[in-house]
């Protein structure tokens, strides 16, 4: 049993999972880590024992010359938000830490379609002074000398305490304070639905920033808390295509969710810049689906790939065994690495036992269903993301050319 726990500890270590790239959340991207965390847990056990949605607004909607600054622009939701901002007619500024990441050949494959029409500005949002200087320069060139909106799609990579407070709180706070310094009008925050029941470090960090945003009076705001992203519930596509079972915890009926597509969420975020009904509001947001259990998601995924359902049920008590063992090592040897691994395990457990579900019609948005998404990626595949998909491949020029030949 000890051997199993050690193997699982390795599988769960931050260096292995790195479950929360900027976007995820989003949350944000944090929800996106669920599949990879749970798959890593099961791999550790095995080793030990042997579309774009149209907005009602016109092409520019009266927004010509108005400036929208997108922070976290290279993230999963961030890049879609950049594209939607351009589509709606804003002068769109995509803030990126490393411009070469976007402008390299690989970057053009990853971000080209999303950043077309946007202005790419290199700026580290962790550097508060540099960020303020950058926003001042942007404001000077803006019509009327003012940034209309700052949209934050920032989220920590790992969800552990150090990363969460550096990104989900401090870097996002830097965006707010710099926006206030240049008299920006509105702040749109991509937060996370899960903060409603916070027992994780990244949730506390997000709530701390939300409180700061609500307390200031210089900018109006909209706080959007999405349930989950489509990518966060798509991580097992490649393994079931290869004949492996779909992995679930408990009986597969423990939790329910209604995830939202990246395009629908991006539309909602950009629409929030001008929608007065969302002014100074916190909004929980899910997609159009009815409540989906993990088992139902598996059935839908098997349908999309044309295979008979094949499930593996993992007991929920595994989480407690793993987490308690990792925490014991962390406490005994004052180990930050094991403390972080234990927190990663807690994140995995959270999404195995908590619903990510909105039922109020006003808290459901978009038209793309999860089945439509599964049908699409079953044909086209999905890009590799170490935080949500373990076996998909990064886009290449050849792959993109082949993808263009696919007829659905």
Q: Which domains does the chain have, with CATH numbers?
A: 19-39+51-315+360-401 (3.40.50.720)
Type and span of the H or E element at 339: helix 336-353
Asked if 114 and 83 touch (Cβ cutoff 8 Å), the reply is yes
Distance CA 43, CA 158 (A): 19
Pure H helices in 167-200: 172-181
Distance CA 322, CA 17 (A): 15
Asked if 92 and 84 touch (Cβ cutoff 8 Å), the reply is no
Task: Using CA atoms of 356, 362, 367, 373 in order, give the dihedral in degrees to the nearest 10.
Answer: 0
Residue 389: its pLDDT value, please? 55
Sign of CA dihedral 376, 53, 70, 162: negative
CB atoms closer than 10 angstroms to residue 13: 17
CB atoms closer than 10 angstroms to residue 162: 13
pTM for the structure as a whole: 0.84
Residue 143: its pLDDT value, please? 81
Distance CA 192, CA 221 (A): 15
Distance CA 168, CA 356 (A): 20
Residue position matching structure tokens 């679930």: 248
Type and span of the H or E element at 248: strand 246-249
- The tens place of each residue's pLDDT in the chain, 408 residues long, gives 434 443 443 333 333 333 333 333 333 334 444 444 455 554 444 344 344 433 443 445 567 789 999 999 999 999 999 999 999 999 999 999 999 989 999 899 889 899 999 999 999 999 999 999 999 999 999 888 899 999 999 999 889 999 999 999 999 999 999 999 999 999 999 999 999 999 999 999 999 999 999 999 999 999 999 999 999 999 999 999 999 999 999 999 999 999 999 999 999 999 999 999 999 999 999 999 999 999 999 999 999 999 999 999 999 999 999 999 999 999 999 999 999 999 999 999 999 999 999 999 999 999 999 999 999 999 999 876 655 554 555 555 544 554 444 433
> 329-359 as b/e, with b when 16 or more CB fall inside 10 Å?
bbeeeeeeebbbbbbbbbbbbbbbebbbbbe
What are the CA-CA distances from residue 67 to residues 41, 141, 190 (Å)? 44, 10, 18
Asked if 364 and 287 touch (Cβ cutoff 8 Å), the reply is yes
């Amino acid at each position: 049993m000890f051997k199993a726990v050690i193997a699982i500890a390795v599988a769960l270590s931050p260096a292995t999972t790195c479950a929360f790239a900027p976007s995820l959340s989003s949350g944000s991207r944090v929800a996106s880590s669920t599949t990879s965390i749970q798959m890593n847990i099961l791999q550790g056990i095995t080793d030990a024992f042997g579309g774009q949605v149209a907005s009602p607004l016109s092409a520019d909607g009266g927004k010509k010359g108005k400036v929208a600054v997108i922070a976290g622009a290279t993230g999963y939701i961030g890049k879609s938000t950049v594209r939607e901002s351009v589509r709606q007619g804003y002068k769109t500024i995509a803030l990126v830490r490393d411009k070469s990441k976007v402008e390299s050949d690989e970057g053009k494959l990853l971000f080209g379609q999303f950043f077309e029409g946007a202005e790419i500005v290199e700026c580290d949002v962790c550097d508060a002074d540099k960020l303020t200087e950058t926003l001042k320069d942007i404001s000077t060139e803006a019509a009327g000398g003012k940034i209309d909106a700052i949209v934050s799609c920032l989220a920590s990579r790992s969800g552990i305490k150090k990363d969460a407070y550096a990104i989900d709180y401090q870097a996002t706070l830097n965006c707010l304070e710099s926006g206030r310094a240049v008299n920006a009008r509105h702040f749109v925050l991509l937060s996370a639905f899960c903060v409603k029941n916070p027992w994780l470090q990244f949730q506390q960090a997000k709530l701390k920033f939300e409180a700061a945003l609500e307390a200031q009076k210089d900018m109006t705001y909209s706080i959007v808390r999405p349930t989950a992203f489509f990518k966060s519930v798509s991580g097992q596509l490649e393994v079931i295509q290869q004949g492996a079972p779909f992995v679930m915890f408990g009986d597969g009926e423990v939790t329910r969710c209604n995830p939202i597509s990246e395009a629908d969420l991006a539309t909602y975020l950009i629409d929030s810049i001008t929608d007065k009904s969302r002014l100074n509001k916190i909004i929980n947001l899910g997609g159009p689906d009815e409540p989906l259990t993990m088992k139902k998601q598996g059935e839908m995924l098997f349908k999309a790939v044309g295979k008979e359902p094949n499930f593996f049920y993992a007991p929920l008590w595994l989480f407690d065994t793993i987490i308690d063992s990792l925490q014991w090592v962390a406490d005994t040897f004052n180990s930050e690495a094991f403390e972080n691994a234990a927190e990663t395990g807690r994140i995995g457990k959270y999404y195995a036992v908590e619903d990510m579900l909105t039922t109020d019609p006003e808290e459901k948005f978009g038209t793309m269903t999860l089945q439509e998404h599964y049908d699409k990626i079953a044909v086209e595949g999905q890009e590799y993301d170490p935080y949500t998909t373990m076996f998909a491949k990064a886009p290449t020029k050849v792959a993109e050319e082949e993808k263009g030949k696919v007829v659905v």
